[in-house]
Amino acid sequence: MNEEEQAVELVKRLLCSRGGTVEQYLIRKIEISSVEDLGWKVYPKKDGFDVERSLLRKQKILSKYKWYVSEFGNVKPLNGKAIGITKE
């Protein structure tokens, strides 16, 4: 597994404030018929990665969940969507 894949795995395993893990929560979201999964994207930074998951609802409402994963494996939510589902 490369560093980008490891960063995504760290985010997926985060505890979700709504129960289970972040991955389990997002899977439940994409099981809704009106939600399209646009997948994970990873953006390299100088000292880690930005990890993003995008969902498209009703073919027009884009939701992005963004986290920062440091080179040491620390994960921090970056936007309101991610903050809302990440258990502290």
| Burial state string for 61-80 with b = 16 or more CB within 10 A and e = fewer than 16 | eeeebbbbbeeeeebebbee
C-beta of residue 40 within 8 angstroms of C-beta of residue 64:
no
Structural domain range at position 34? 3-85
Please state which of the ranges 11-15, 31-35, 65-69 shows the lowest mean pLDDT: 31-35
CB atoms within 10 A of CB 33: 6
Q: Each residue of 14-59: pLDDT tens digit?
A: 999 999 999 999 999 999 999 999 999 999 999 999 999 999 999 9
Please provide the size of the chain in residues: 88
Q: Closest by alpha carbon to 50, among 3, 6, 7?
A: 7
Query: What per-residue confidence (pLDDT) applies to 1?
Result: 84
Q: What is the pTM of this model?
A: 0.94
Q: How many domains, in total, are found in the chain?
A: 1
